[in-house]
C-alpha cells in the first residue's frame, strides 16, 4: 500500500509539472516544428538507410505530438476551423506527393483541396455582412434556481442547442428533461439550425438516439415566428474560457 500511495503521488507531481509546461506551449510547438523540418531535410539528403528510417520515424512521432498539442488548446467553438485545417494538411500532403511522383493530377487536386480548406477556415473571421441589430430590452442575470422555475412554469419552450454540447452525451440529459416537461403538457420544441448541422452527424439524429421525440425538431424557417409567443427560449452557447 505505501508503494501504491507513492505511485499516485508521483502522478500528482507529473500533472503539476505538465501544468507548468502549459505556459511554454508556444515555445514547445515551435521547437517541435524546427525538429520536424530538420528531420525532413536530413531525410531528403542521401544517407544510410537506417539513419533515414530513424529520422522519418522521429518526424512522424513528433508531428503527431505537435498536432495533439495544438488541438488540445483549441476550444470547441473553433472545432470547425480545426477540421478545415486538417483537410488543408491532407491537401498539401497530396500536392507534395504529386511533386515527388511528377503526377500532375495529384499536384492539382492536392493544391485545390489545400486552398479550399484554407478559404473555408477563414469564414466567420471577418466582419459580418449583415448590419448589427439593435438590442432591445434589458440584460438580466439569473440563478440556476430562477431558470429552473421559469422552465417549470412555462407552457411553451423552444430550445436552441449546440452540436458540441449534445455530441458530448449531454443529449441524454436533454432528452430526459424534454420527456419530463412534455409529460406535464409543455409544448417543447427544438430548433435544428445551420450551425448545429455543420458537422458530419446531424443534431436531430443525435437527439433521436437519446429517444427524444423526432417530431418536435423543426427547421428555423418553420419555427422562427413562434419565438414571439414562446414563454421561454433556452439558447445553449459555447464558453471557451
Query: In degrees rounded to 5, what are phi and psi of residue 219?
Result: -75, 160
Structurally, how many domains does the chain consist of? 3
**Residue range 130-179, pLDDT digits in tens:** 555 666 778 788 898 998 899 989 999 998 876 655 556 777 888 888 89
pLDDT for the residue numbered 96: 82
Residue reference for cell 422552465? 151
Cα–Cα distance measured from residue 230 to residue 156, given in angstroms and rounded to the nearest whole number: 5
Mean confidence (pLDDT) of the chain: 74
Cα–Cα distance measured from residue 213 to residue 170, given in angstroms and rounded to the nearest whole number: 16
How many helices (H) and strands (E) in the chain? 10, 4
What is the distance of C-alpha 85 from the center of its chain? 12
Same domain, 66 and 112: no
* Beta strand extents in 102-163 (DSSP E only): 156-160
pLDDT for the residue numbered 60: 74
How many CA atoms lie less than 13 Å away from 56 in the CB half-sphere?
Answer: 10
In a domain, 130, yes or no: no
Residue 172's CATH number: 3.40.50.1220
In a domain, 140, yes or no: no
In a domain, 139, yes or no: no
Amino acid at each position: 500500500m505505501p508503494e501504491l500511495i507513492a505511485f499516485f503521488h508521483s502522478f500528482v507531481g507529473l500533472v503539476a509539472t505538465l501544468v507548468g509546461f502549459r505556459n511554454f506551449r508556444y515555445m514547445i510547438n515551435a521547437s517541435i516544428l524546427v525538429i520536424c523540418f530538420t528531420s525532413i531535410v536530413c531525410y531528403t539528403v542521401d544517407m544510410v538507410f537506417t539513419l533515414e528510417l530513424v529520422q522519418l520515424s522521429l518526424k512522424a512521432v513528433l508531428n503527431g505530438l505537435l498536432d495533439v498539442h495544438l488541438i488540445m488548446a483549441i476550444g470547441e467553438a473553433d472545432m470547425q476551423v480545426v477540421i478545415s485545417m486538417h483537410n488543408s494538411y491532407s491537401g498539401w500532403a497530396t500536392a507534395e506527393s504529386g511533386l515527388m511522383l511528377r503526377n500532375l493530377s495529384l499536384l492539382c487536386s492536392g493544391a485545390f483541396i489545400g486552398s479550399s480548406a484554407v478559404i473555408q477556415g477563414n469564414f466567420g473571421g471577418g466582419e459580418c455582412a449583415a448590419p448589427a441589430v439593435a438590442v432591445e430590452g434589458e440584460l438580466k442575470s439569473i440563478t440556476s434556481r430562477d431558470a429552473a422555475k421559469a422552465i417549470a412554469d412555462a407552457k411553451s419552450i423552444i430550445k436552441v442547442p449546440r452540436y458540441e454540447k449534445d455530441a458530448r452525451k449531454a443529449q441524454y440529459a436533454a432528452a430526459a428533461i424534454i420527456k419530463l416537461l412534455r409529460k406535464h403538457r409543455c409544448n417543447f420544441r427544438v430548433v435544428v439550425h445551420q450551425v448545429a448541422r455543420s458537422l458530419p452527424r446531424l443534431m436531430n439524429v443525435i437527439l433521436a438516439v437519446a429517444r427524444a421525440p423526432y417530431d418536435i425538431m423543426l427547421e428555423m424557417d418553420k419555427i422562427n415566428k413562434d419565438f414571439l409567443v414562446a414563454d421561454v427560449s433556452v439558447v445553449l452557447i459555447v464558453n471557451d474560457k
